[in-house]
């Protein structure tokens, strides 16, 4: 077997090696069941134990109150771009969105098809280099909800502070930084997150929804997108992504064993600091995000010279540091350093940047 | 490791052992990539090779003409219960449905939310023991489509002959018998199938759609459910279920190596015959489906005595034959014998039935 590489992909991305090793160990036969998890009926006792343990571990990690449902759905966060308005945009028919990046923009565009969408703040014209300033006086107190994207994968930005939306439910796409830092779930109406960055394999979306927000769906909401239907059936209105939920469970347990989100947040601050310190000291590499809004999960940087960017990406790949190419809309480099990326991987990248700079001074 | 059992679950169900062994072999490191397939970006070259090979293998197996798109979507067949009317129920606004079982019924119920649904034939009042007679003179020649369920998992029935719907596109939920017998794809407008019975792990739905049927979607169709959007983005409007598509690829290749669907159909006829012969010769066990419409995938039977049914299910489980309990709406037993179930597993079940009958005469 080839040596494992450090994979800085924005998602799907690295999984913790102990998780992969556990999956490997029980792939052909789970416990004494004589079957693979992939072969288990989703309604069988053996599988329901896995499912329930997965939800319980996520509840423990995020300290999710009993007043919230935890749904394990298919379709990824993009499906929730439709599901959010189909489930919630039904009273005043108007919602507030913050346009802080590409996915935030797409979420608002999709919601516009189902009601009135007010973009209350945007950094689109500044290449999304920062989280736009939020002035509560422009928020609509009658909005059905207020939508944010807590971390912007492509642009490497993160909300340092959550907006105060009063009684308007705060709905957050947390795909790229869920479980990476402590959030008070009680401050949100809905949190949703595609799994393929900080949870597990692609094809799974976690939706955490305050129970009083159920039962408001648009008449035309497809049944499978209706949170109330999924809550009533324990996320099993139809067969869920059983295998991804199992791998997610192992990931949740790995995180609990490491001290939970509280401990992981400290590691993530350290990891991000290593790279941002490296950028701030470099004469070659420059970070693209405003320092106050820098993401801890996605570190974006450029040399200012496309040929040098390409040369660095190749140089890093030779050292086993792969998928550092930035998104086409930003260019340059992006290092995605989710929970599963070890500190050693980040140190290796920083060392590689210094080596490259020394050779290209 | 415990010995593998014969798993007669209706789905998720058995996967071919060589497929599981291949997954096991490359789980920690795929080829020389240094990563697991679960960790690969869906837009990376290494993953796109897997994706393209998966679609190509399915095209080869089913001889899918170039005039059809093959989509690899999330949400399972149940999501297509909504997607079918949202994509197609837009011209006359009326569709014909055949009510041949529980899932057929649910498909029609969901479609009713988006337009006029005519149930042109039903066996609901006869416990779905057969495929209802189809009289073409009652078909609506102006219907946007005509919907059938080619195999009814719960009731153990199968269309022995497809209806002739003329110019009206035939839309088929083929979840429980896709790849089990030869179908002429050219006779269908749309074929869809959840993966977890005859394709691979749960969380994946294959949609095969004639290209001229794209572009008709309802204005309120969620983008991710819009077949045209998915066709234009190669099933990657967002991150697909990358791992399930990879396991499906291995399953497709396994089937190609065994002679394709043509060869598998002969094996399936043999497997079903072993069990139906056993039922027809038994004084204890009785099949529940009308013989002319018997499924080759799901064999449903009862003793007529619930206590004896339970005793048999336990007797079989002790012999390593698991998940034989029938659906609660039918009771008794159901043996799901998809492609991955070896002939030996079916022989073992027949032998077990004879043993039980001898001991309970």
Q: Which residues of A touch B27 (CB under 8 A)?
A: 20, 23-24, 27
Arithmetic mean of pLDDT, B13-42: 97
Chain A residues 50-109 with CB within 8 Å of chain B: 74-79, 81-83, 86
> CA nearest B234: which of B86, B253, B242?
B242
Q: Which residues of A touch B204 (CB under 8 A)?
A: 203
**CB–CB contact A244 B242 (8 Å):** no
Say yes or no: domain B260-360 is CATH 3.90.1150.10.
yes
- Give the bridge partners for A334, in sequence order: A300
Q: Is A250 on the interface with B (CB under 8 A)?
A: no
Q: pLDDT (tens digit, 9 = 90+) per residue, A158-203?
A: 999 999 999 999 999 999 999 999 999 999 999 999 999 999 999 9
Whether the full predicted model's pTM is greater than 0.90, yes or no, is: yes
Chain A residues 278-317 with CB within 8 Å of chain B: none
Q: Which residues of B touch A237 (CB under 8 A)?
A: 78
**CB–CB contact A38 B29 (8 Å):** no
pLDDT at A3: 80
| Architecture (CATH level 2) of domain A18-257 | 3-Layer(aba) Sandwich (3.40)
Is B198 within 8 Å of B72 (Cβ atoms)?
Answer: no
Q: Which residues of A touch B114 (CB under 8 A)?
A: 220
Q: pLDDT (tens digit, 9 = 90+) per residue, B229-265?
A: 999 999 999 999 999 999 999 999 999 999 999 999 9
Report residue A295: phi and psi, to 5°. Answer: -75, 150
pLDDT at B361: 74
Chain A residues 209-228 with CB within 8 Å of chain B: 219-220, 222-225
Report residue A209: phi and psi, to 5°. Answer: -130, 135
Q: pLDDT (tens digit, 9 = 90+) per residue, A227-281?
A: 999 999 999 999 999 999 999 999 999 999 999 999 999 999 999 999 999 999 9
- Lookup: tokens for B120: 């042109």
Q: Which residues of B touch A9 (CB under 8 A)?
A: 39-41, 44
Q: pLDDT (tens digit, 9 = 90+) per residue, B144-155?
A: 999 999 999 999
Of B2, B9, B222, nearest to A32 by CB-CB distance is: B2
Residue of B nearest to A226 (CA): B79
Query: Which of B224, B226, B229, B324 is most worth mutating to test chain A (most A CB atoms within 10 A of its CB)?
Result: B224
pLDDT at A2: 62
Is B144 within 8 Å of B95 (Cβ atoms)?
Answer: yes
Cα of A276 to nearest chain B Cα, Å: 24
**CB–CB contact A36 B44 (8 Å):** no
Report residue B186: phi and psi, to 5°. Answer: -60, -15
Of A24, A34, A243, nearest to B2 by CB-CB distance is: A34
**H helical segments located in chain B:** 17-25, 45-62, 76-88, 102-111, 227-232, 242-257, 260-281, 306-318, 343-359
Q: Is B142 on the interface with A (CB under 8 A)?
A: no
Residues counted in chain A: 361
Q: Whole-number mean pLDDT of chain B?
A: 97
Q: pLDDT (tens digit, 9 = 90+) per residue, B53-64?
A: 999 999 999 999
> CA nearest B235: which of B36, B45, B69?
B69
Q: Which residues of B328-360 are buried (b: 16+ CB within 10 A; e: fewer)?
A: eebbbbbbbbbbbbbeebbebbbebbeebbeee
Domain boundaries of chain B, sorted by first residue: 18-257, 260-360
Task: Count CB neighbours of A121 within 10 A.
Answer: 18
Residue of B nearest to A240 (CA): B203
Residue of A nearest to B47 (CA): A12
Cα of A215 to nearest chain B Cα, Å: 17
Is A84 within 8 Å of A112 (Cβ atoms)?
Answer: no
Q: Is B204 on the interface with A (CB under 8 A)?
A: yes
Is A302 within 8 Å of A289 (Cβ atoms)?
Answer: no
Q: Is residue B319 scored above 70 in pLDDT?
A: yes
Q: Token match 């609990």: residue?
A: A256
């Amino acid at each position: 077997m080839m040596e494992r590489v450090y994979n800085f992909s924005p998602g799907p991305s690295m999984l913790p090696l102990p998780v992969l090793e556990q999956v490997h160990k029980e792939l052909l036969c789970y416990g004494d069941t004589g079957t693979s998890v992939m072969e288990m009926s989703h309604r069988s006792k053996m599988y329901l134990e896995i499912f329930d343990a997965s939800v319980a571990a996520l509840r423990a990690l995020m300290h999710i109150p009993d007043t919230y449902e935890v749904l394990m759905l298919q379709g990824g966060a993009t499906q929730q771009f439709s599901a959010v308005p189909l489930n919630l945009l039904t009273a005043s028919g108007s919602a507030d969105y913050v346009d802080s990046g590409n996915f935030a923009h797409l979420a608002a565009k999709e919601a516009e098809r189902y009601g009135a969408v007010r973009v209350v703040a945007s950094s689109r014209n500044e290449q999304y280099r920062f989280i736009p300033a939020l002035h509560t006086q422009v928020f609509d107190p009658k909005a059905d909800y207020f939508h944010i994207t807590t971390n912007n994968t492509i642009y490497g930005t993160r909300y340092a502070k959550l907006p105060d939306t009063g009684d308007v439910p705060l709905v957050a796409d947390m795909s790229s930084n869920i479980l990476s830092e402590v959030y008070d779930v009680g401050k949100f109406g809905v949190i949703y997150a595609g799994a393929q960055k900080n949870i597990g394999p692609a094809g799974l979306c976690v939706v955490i929804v305050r129970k009083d927000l159920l039962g408001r769906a648009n008449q035309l909401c497809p049944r499978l997108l209706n949170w109330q239907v999924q809550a009533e059936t324990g996320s099993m209105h139809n067969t869920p992504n059983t295998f991804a939920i199992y791998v997610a469970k192992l990931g949740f347990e790995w995180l609990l064993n490491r001290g939970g989100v509280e401990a992981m947040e400290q590691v993530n601050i350290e990891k991000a600091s290593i790279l941002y310190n490296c950028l701030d000291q470099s004469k070659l590499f420059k970070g693209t995000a405003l320092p106050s809004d820098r993401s801890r999960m996605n570190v974006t940087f450029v040399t200012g010279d496309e040929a040098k960017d390409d040369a660095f990406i190749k140089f890093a790949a030779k050292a086993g540091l792969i998928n550092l190419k930035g998104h086409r809309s930003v260019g340059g480099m992006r290092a995605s350093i989710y929970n599963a990326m070890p500190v050693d991987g980040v140190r290796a990248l920083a060392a590689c940047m210094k080596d490259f700079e020394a050779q290209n001074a």
